[in-house]
Copies of this chain bind each other. A is one copy, B any other.
Amino acid sequence: MADSNTIRLRVFSLNCWGIRYLSKHCRERYAMIGELLNREEHDIVLLQEVWSEKDFLCLKRKLSSTHPHSHYFKSGVIGSGMATFSRHRIHDAFLYRYSLNGYPYMAHHGDWFGGKAVGMVKLNIGRLAAHVYVTHLHAEYCREKDSYLPHRVVQAWELQQFIRHTSSGADLVILAGDLNLHPQDLGNRLLRTYTGLRDSYTETAKFDGCEDGITFIADNPFINPKELCPFEKGIRIDYILYKGSGRVSIQCESLSTTKGSVPDHPFPYSDHEALSAELQLQTLTQQAGGDETRGEQDCAAGKLAELVDIVTEARTEVKVGLYCAERMRYTAARTGVMGMALLLLELAIAAVPWLALGADQPFPRASFYLLGVLCFAILITTFLLYIFYTMEVKALQGAEDQMRLAVGSLQERLRGFPLAQPLNPLCRPLDRQDPCPLEPEE
């Protein structure tokens, strides 16, 4: 493989919806997934929502001959649910846990317990260093009134940061997973524009799959179509993204998705559709360009300006989240103070004779204890919530600080461009094979 200048790399991604005892036909679906992977022998398999390690180990056994290398990322209480299988040796793994990931008291949503994160494995494909990322962002439960939006934006921010900062030495970068972001959502634009990652769906030469590349489709029997409203047919939230470097040029030869059913099986692999991309890696004999033309400079400046806008938009979203988190923290504090006041009042009634009921009435012991317990419960709950919201505030402030720094730095670089002509915001990045067209020139 490494002898030739061209390498073909097949990448697979699937959100497995693998909640033992809760997800429908979980065991049977894992068996089907195992069969598929065994048969197709993709180079790299990136799975999400493999919530049980037992299921991972079962898959690992089944794939031991086709995919001898694997890694399961652990995080949170039941997570991270992310697993990777590879035909190429994995020589390093690293996990970044997102600082924000929903609320523990929203147990029915479960995201907090899943410990959402981005995992990275480093592989050598021939003589090329591949950094492969898998992630799963916080779900969107209600698009109109999405209280988790700031969390998802911060996750997308941290995801792009993690990829940018850990991919300097990579010849190729691949990210796959359930981003829970529509193609034009803020987090998606932030991720793609900042990292220079390209979407296999929009870039592929050949596509075979659901209309518009949707991966969460109304036709899937595990999905309640009402939940998809107003997107009747479905939404595209699962992705395989990639980029090359000065040493490697990548083209997406083909992309396919499953289509809600599997031939000869009564149900599909999961509630999400699986993605399979075939990438063609072309090793370059010499480093890309050096003499930039004026047009290319304008392009880079246009991209920078676009990025400034996107980060500013993200910052606004984070500020909205910050306002909400601060308000929630204030509410928790106020409720706690009221609980404390009630407790003190009660103690005063019990201790100071003239505040108590007349001597002719018996002391209402049961009510006294119940009220006391209520006060204590309020105090403890509000204390825990106060701590939690303070951490949320800190994380949001931290992200906002970093975004402010990034905007300043981008604007500084923008000032370095000689702008005689107006920018052309529609042009493509400087060099499509550039490892990261928007990394500062170090």
Contact = CB atoms under 8 A, between A and B. Distances in A.
A389 to B, nearest CB: 10
A129 B369 contact: no
7 contacts: A74-B395, A77-B390, A77-B394, A93-B402, A122-B442, A128-B442, A166-B168
**Size class of A's contact patch?**
35 or more
A397 interface: yes
Interface in A66-93: 71-77, 79, 89-93
Chain A residues touching B, majority SS: mixed
A169 interface: yes
A391 interface: yes
Contacts of A77: 387, 390-391, 394
Interface string A305-330: 00000000000000000000000000
A127 to B, nearest CB: 9
A29 B208 CA distance: 67
A95 B96 CA distance: 10
A406 interface: yes
A434 interface: no
The 8 closest A-B pairs by CB, nearest first: A129-B442, A168-B169, A74-B398, A168-B168, A91-B409, A165-B166, A369-B369, A74-B394
A391 B76 contact: yes
Contacts of A162: 94
Given A76-B394, A168-B169, A440 B92 contact: yes
Nearest to A171: B442
A79 B406 CA distance: 22
Given A71-B405, A75-B395, A115-B394, 16 more contacts: A71-B401, A72-B401, A74-B397, A77-B387, A79-B394, A89-B412, A90-B409, A91-B440, A92-B405, A94-B161, A94-B402, A104-B387, A115-B391, A169-B442, A365-B366, A369-B373
Contacts of A370: 369
A97 B99 contact: yes
Contacts of A409: 89-92
A124 interface: yes
A139 interface: no
A97 B77 CA distance: 17
A235 interface: no
Interface of A: 71-77, 79, 89-97, 99, 104, 115, 120, 122, 124, 128-129, 161-162, 165-166, 168-171, 365-366, 369-370, 373, 376, 380, 387, 390-391, 394-395, 397-398, 401-402, 405-406, 409, 412, 439-440, 442
A171 B441 CA distance: 12
A75 B405 contact: no
Contacts of A369: 366, 369-370, 373
Contacts of A75: 99, 394-395, 398
A93 B405 contact: yes
Contacts of A71: 401, 405
Nearest to A398: B74
Nearest to A402: B93
Contacts of A89: 409, 412
Contacts of A72: 401
Nearest to A127: B442
